[in-house]
Amino acid sequence: MTDFHGGLDLTQDVISYVALGDSFTEGLNDPVPDDSGAARGRFRGWADRVAEHLADRVPEVRYANLAVRGKLIRQITAEQLPRAVELHPDLVTLCAGGNDIIRPGGDPDQVAAVFEAAVARLAGTGAAVVVFTGFDTGFQPVMRHLRGKVATYNMHVRAIADQYGCAVVDLWSMRVLQDRRAWSADRLHLSSEGHRRLALRVCEVLGVAAEGDWRQPWPEELPRDWRLARQEDLHWAREYLVPWIGRRLTGRSSGDGRAPKRPNLERLR
């Protein structure tokens, strides 16, 4: 068993796992590998990978992923939390608040108050609850100004985890994810390799044996030509930053009208 209160009993024959959150937990941008093209547009992500690692160690894993891209914390608690409580899983992962923090006027204290209410309700079910700090945005030029707000929110997350006996996955300290190769082309979501490493870190926190080392150094990379780097920056701004700003200004979300990819507890494999 893990050493946090209400820890996950890995000796069970059946373990049920529900993941809550936004695009980070939905799995953008980690495409499901499928040579036939049938899985085109579907994403895997660290939570799916954690479920797969669990399935390697436990006879039966039942898994639901209720996360939907673009969701704010109040939407997550209103739309996903009741379903998670209804499913009564053994394990819950909750990562929420990031979309609120990065918005203009996002108040980490107010976001944390909503987060705490959600954690209290989940912990009350008896499930093992895992929560996440935010990334250290100091390495991202566009997000660097948010570093103080993220740090404030992280202190709240840690205090809430202590109070309710949750495990914490500390994304802030994962320096290995500060390499550009850990991120997809949009610079907002992890790459497949970033998701793989994060899944290994979550398994480490849970005490689930998994092959691989999330700390493994990245291969040495050749210096990049500054002209190419500038072209990449311009392409990123045009393809990703401008549309993102447009959605913020018009109150739209990438998750509008989108349903969870795994709304029910279904056996994995």
Distance CA 28, CA 167 (A): 23
- Print pLDDT tens along the chain (269 aa): 334 444 788 999 999 999 999 999 999 989 998 754 545 668 999 999 999 999 999 999 999 999 999 999 999 999 999 999 999 999 999 999 999 998 888 999 999 999 999 999 999 999 999 999 999 988 887 788 899 999 999 999 999 999 999 999 999 999 999 999 999 888 789 999 999 999 999 999 999 999 999 999 999 987 777 677 677 766 666 676 666 666 666 666 666 778 999 999 999 97
Residue burial 4-29, b: 16+ Cβ < 10 Å; e: rest: bebebebeeeebbbbbbbbbbbbbbb
Distance CA 244, CA 238 (A): 10
CB 51 within 8 A of CB 17: yes
- Least Cα distance to 32 among 40, 21, 24 occurs for 40
Ordered by where they begin, the domains of the chain are 14-267 (3.40.50.1110)
- Residue 225: how many other CB atoms lie within 10 Å: 9
Residues contacting 229, CB < 8 A, separation 6+:
none
